[in-house]
Amino acid sequence: MARKLLLEHINVPGINTLEVYRQKGGYRAVEKALKTLTPDEVVEEVKKSGLRGRGGAGFPTGMKWSFLAKPEGVPRYLVCNADESEPGTFKDRYLMTYIPHALIEGMIVASYALGANTSYIYVRGEMMPQIRILEKAIAEAKAAGLLGQKILGTDYSLELYVQPGGGAYICGEETALLESLEGKRGNPRIKPPFPAIAGLYGCPTVVNNVESIAAVVPIINDGGDEYAKIGIGRSTGTKLISASGNLVKPGVYEIELGLPVEEFIYSDEYCGGIANGKRLKATVAGGSSVPILPANLTLKYANGEPRSMSYESLSEGGFATGTMLGSGGFIAFDEDQCIVRNTWNFSRFYHHESCGQCSPCREGTGWLEKILHKIEYGHGTMDDIDLLWDVQRKIEGNTICPLGDAAAWPVASAIRHFREEFEWHIKEPVKSQQQNYGIANYAVPIEKAVEVKQDNL
């Protein structure tokens, strides 16, 4: 069994209460940090751990913390990003529902490290049940002296509040989130200045994902060096993977980074294989924004070496033959799924969620959706595929925030790896309305290249 740091006690009855959470060793990290470590020492442990942002970007958390400006007399803020909306990702909901104190404990330690005395957890508005769970947990922690004035008798004070969003994917982008928290439309800000200099109310602010903040707890308990021993290379620690789609056992799994993809999909400890005895056609490994890969490239690199679940291994081969770990939203497609339809669905999502601020994204996502709809419903022409490619190229890199890239990549990768399927939709407008293209050669195993021995030549 792999080591579990975040979900170790998830099945303990009553772990959502302060009492049981403490019985299982909860809030040790608060005691340790506030009573034995300086804020800078906490930051140092997080740096040593190698923890990388779990929301999708994978930026080192300790480094992000060390960029925080500390001008005299200006408040600093920690804001937790719980606006989980990336299609395929549902780990934060799971964590907040079942083990809310893990997030609250992490918030206290992280706020202490950053010198924040007021912190907010921005939860997407649709998660009202989770908001109620968190508010209850905060009240429990406050009653136990873990929040509020002079925590555990130390000089450190912290107020923690939960803020609901209003239903907008874009508010998962950190500057849009801050705008939203200020009571405005979620339009991302132009960077610089970065939030570390001018964030919430113009004050220095750190925005971290739920899972990143929860991971601070084991890092402080066991030390950054211990945490860094788990995982592989620069992908240290454990990661929550949200597995969805056509799997025998979809759900949230905590893995040690470096787990082979094949083991994750097929072993009984994890997803248990593809549902209904079907074959795997494709995967989106890190949430809807990352490139889709056919089954064979999901399991192996182009050179035949096995691929594993880590930041580096999933992106091996760049966008030509690789993808990204992203937020860990692992979506599996079986042989009956239509790539064109799914790409259209994702494009509709990005069109719906574009904030409308930048023209390439506002207009481009609409074009992508319309052209894909046309192809999916049997009215496409061959030129439309080139047009799709052209439009996505013109969005990528030309917008204030990464939503534009996120909209472009799924389309680009679908055409890159599944072009025949798009062409089939165009050549067979009637047939494509009645049946699917099927699995074609997408699951044909990639052979490991055999080294040619010089002597035999």
| Residues lying near other proteins in the complex (CB under 8 A) | 75, 84-90, 92-93, 118, 120, 124-129, 159, 161, 163-169, 180-186, 201, 242-246, 250-252, 284, 288, 329, 331, 333, 337, 341-342, 345-346, 349, 352-353, 355
Looking at the Cβ atoms of 4 and 341, the one nearer to other proteins is 341
CA distance 346 to 358: 19
Looking at the Cβ atoms of 42 and 141, the one nearer to other proteins is 141
Looking at the Cβ atoms of 27 and 344, the one nearer to other proteins is 344
Looking at the Cβ atoms of 209 and 236, the one nearer to other proteins is 209
Looking at the Cβ atoms of 92 and 256, the one nearer to other proteins is 92
CA distance 111 to 120: 10
CA distance 442 to 385: 20
Task: Using alpha carbons, select from 238, 302, 303 the residue that is nearest to residue 264.
Answer: 238
Contacts of 447 (CB under 8 A, 6+ apart): 304
What are the DSSP E strand ranges found in 137-230? 159-164, 205-209
Strands 292-294, 308-309: pairing kind? unpaired
Rounded to the nearest whole angstrom, what is the least distance from the CB of residue 282 to other proteins in the complex?
A: 11
Contact (CB, 8 A) for 140 and 150 = no
Rounded to the nearest whole angstrom, what is the least distance from the CB of residue 221 to other proteins in the complex?
A: 28
CA distance 235 to 312: 7
Rounded to the nearest whole angstrom, what is the least distance from the CB of residue 345 to other proteins in the complex?
A: 5
Looking at the Cβ atoms of 175 and 246, the one nearer to other proteins is 246
Write the CA distances from 203 to 194, 308, 401, 403, integer angstroms. 10, 40, 21, 25
Contacts of 424 (CB under 8 A, 6+ apart): 432, 437
Rounded to the nearest whole angstrom, what is the least distance from the CB of residue 446 to other proteins in the complex?
A: 24
The number of helices, as runs of H, and strands, as runs of E, in the chain is 19, 13
Contact (CB, 8 A) for 265 and 273 = yes
Looking at the Cβ atoms of 111 and 244, the one nearer to other proteins is 244
Rounded to the nearest whole angstrom, what is the least distance from the CB of residue 452 to other proteins in the complex?
A: 42
Rounded to the nearest whole angstrom, what is the least distance from the CB of residue 323 to other proteins in the complex?
A: 15
Rounded to the nearest whole angstrom, what is the least distance from the CB of residue 25 to other proteins in the complex?
A: 28
